[in-house]
Structure 1
Amino acid sequence: MIALIASCKKENTVDNATKPVVIGYLIPGQSISLRVYSQKGLSDTATYGTPITGLTPSVSDGSKTVQLTDSGNGIYTYNDLSFVSSGKTYQLKFTYNSLPVTATTSVPSKPVGFTASKTLINLPTGSTISPQATDSIAVTFKWKNPDSLYHVIVFKNDDSSPFNIHPQFNAAVNFTINAKKAEYYNVYYRTFNYIGIYRAILWSVSEDYINMLKTNANTSSQRLTDAPTNIINGYGIFSGMQSDTIKLQLTQY
């Protein structure tokens, strides 16, 4: 998924410095993988802070509690693929610096009826795209959303060396669109800057995830004390999610 919390940096206060950063996603059919690390200093350019090892985190679904295994490098895992199920609520618990660190999340239902108006997309030719240039819809994605769940669409390029059709722009190869609670989303040609094979992954996600996504999109210097989190006595996110995928081929000729 998206490393939303990797950029968390601490202010120089005692309270902030003692709280861990936690990243954990619960996805049915996949093992649980929880990453726990210290907050980074403001000048630290590493992706993550120092890993926190030696913890004994547990996850409960209300009737069964499982212990995660310390796999090293601040990563804790549980490999029973049947434990995480759609519709259930899960609670994470562990102790750090003598404080209980907890979080609760529910696993949303898997996206249903995910379709694309086309899977072969030929991007317009031209060396530049100015803000004043007209644009049109490249592809429309649709899905059913009777429960008004939050959704994001993640675009991942599977090519080993993606070709940038707009080299004058420093655009990201992979990107995420917040579809909110909609049942469709129009993606415009200008959104795509690379050709090749893409996976369009529709995720049903929690509101906590959406809040963190908006925070990362709106600022590059967000104070950690202001960042939204559902971790009690910590920072980061513990969130259930599910996905469906459509493969796209982007060309330009």
Structure 2
Amino acid sequence: MEIKTYTRYIALSLIGSLILLASCKKNQSDILATNKPVVESYLIPGRVLSIKVYQQKALTDTTTYGAALTGLSISVSDGSKSVKLTESASGTYTYADQSFITTGKTYTMQFTYAGVAVSATTIMPGKPADFTLSDSIFHVPSTINPLYADVARATIKWSNPDSLYHLLVFKNLDNDPYYISYIRSDNKPSFQINAERASYYNLVQSSFNYYGHYKVILMRVNQEYINILTTNITRDSQALLNEPTNVTNGLGIFTAMQTDTLSLRVTTQ
């Protein structure tokens, strides 16, 4: 099976919707496993608990998702309380009480599909702390000097004493962002950086391809999210490989994350 994760932005009130879609294709080694459900769920405090469930797709299927799986009875437990989700749309199951998702708790999702128990567990990490930018304005030099390619022009910092996983998302807010023509990199107007277990990230002269106003989003994520992210970055997109999942008797991802957000303006020097 192949889980291909695309980037979308976290649904927070300040910036709109979050970053992530998942689709699934079947690996040659999984030809006989044709009936696994594909789960997609990202738990975020202050958001409605939502779980999407799809059918596993055939290798030749080019649609983004398999067919939605309807009529499931899905429950989620936080270790002391178990709640039953409601099917709010076809294949989408939700629980509206936002107070149910809190820091430090372990959440277990369960349902039965085709007579088989499907489950997954994740832990809600703490909210990122001490998130700072050395300057709210990043000045792009008028010319790029290769001698200073790796020199930090600004630094993003956060507290990370336990060496937890973090991602940085740079969300360009401009409707028609202005391209920095003399910078050549792979960055789009909006992009993300895997900061791994670090507690800082340096911005260099070529970090941005576009001027404009940005939201800088620090995401604290779990191992299961990093597993899928790094697999899809490093793999050959044409290869049929088994990709990671934390869903028992299923595919996809059930994970939790927290974020913090700062503002940054990228302009000329």
User: TM-score, structure 2 length as denominator?
Assistant: 0.83
Q: Give the deviation of 1:62 after TM superposition.
A: 1.2
* AA of the residue aligned to 2:263: K
Matched, 1:85 2:70: no
Q: Give the deviation of 1:44 after TM superposition.
A: 4.0
* AA of the residue aligned to 1:49: G
Q: Distance in 2 between matches of 1:146 and 1:84?
A: 24
Alignment of 1:197-212 (within 5 A): 197-212=213-228
Task: Please say if residues 10 and 41 of structure 1, whose CA atoms lie closer than 8 Å, have aligned partners that are also in contact.
Answer: yes
Aligned equivalent of 1:151, options 166, 183, 192: 166
Q: Distance in 2 between matches of 1:95 and 1:223?
A: 28
C-alpha distance after superposition, 1:85-144 (max 9, x if no partner): 100001000112221110000001101100011121122345xx7999835324211111
Task: Please say if residues 149 and 204 of structure 2, whose CA atoms lie closer than 8 Å, have aligned partners that are also in contact.
Answer: no
User: In the superposition, relative to structure 1, how do residues 125 and 44 fare at CA in structure 2: closer, same or farther (>3 Å)?
Assistant: farther
Task: Please say if residues 215 and 222 of structure 1, whose CA atoms lie closer than 8 Å, have aligned partners that are also in contact.
Answer: no
What 5-or-longer segments of structure 2 have no aligned partner? Answer: 1-17
Aligned equivalent of 1:173, options 175, 189, 192: 189
Matched, 1:228 2:244: yes
User: In the superposition, relative to structure 1, how do residues 38 and 159 fare at CA in structure 2: closer, same or farther (>3 Å)?
Assistant: farther
Aligned equivalent of 1:55, options 50, 72, 76: 72
Q: Distance in 1 between matches of 2:98 and 2:44?
A: 9
User: In the superposition, relative to structure 1, how do residues 108 and 222 fare at CA in structure 2: closer, same or farther (>3 Å)?
Assistant: farther
* AA of the residue aligned to 2:172: N
State the partner residue of 1:139: 154
Q: Give the deviation of 1:170 after TM superposition.
A: 6.6
Q: Distance in 1 between matches of 2:240 and 2:136?
A: 40
Alignment of 1:6-45 (within 5 A): 6=23, 8-11=24-27, 13-45=30-62
Aligned equivalent of 1:107, options 124, 131, 137: 124
User: In the superposition, relative to structure 1, how do residues 38 and 169 fare at CA in structure 2: closer, same or farther (>3 Å)?
Assistant: farther
State the partner residue of 1:196: 212
Q: Distance in 1 between matches of 2:162 and 2:187?
A: 34
Select between 163-172 and 226-235 the one with higher mean Cα deviation: 163-172
State the partner residue of 1:116: 133
Matched, 1:247 2:259: no
User: In the superposition, relative to structure 1, how do residues 187 and 21 fare at CA in structure 2: closer, same or farther (>3 Å)?
Assistant: farther
Q: Secondary structure at the match of 1:217?
A: helix
Q: Secondary structure at the match of 1:82?
A: helix
Task: Please say if residues 68 and 76 of structure 1, whose CA atoms lie closer than 8 Å, have aligned partners that are also in contact.
Answer: yes
Q: Give the deviation of 1:43 after TM superposition.
A: 4.5
**CA RMSD for the aligned pairs?**
2.5
* AA of the residue aligned to 2:20: A
Q: Secondary structure at the match of 1:163?
A: coil
Q: How many residues align?
A: 249
Q: Give the deviation of 1:244 after TM superposition.
A: 0.6
Percent identity among equivalent residues?
Answer: 49
Q: Secondary structure at the match of 1:216?
A: helix
C-alpha distance after superposition, 1:135-187 (max 9, x if no partner): 53242111111222111111212222333324977743322211111111113
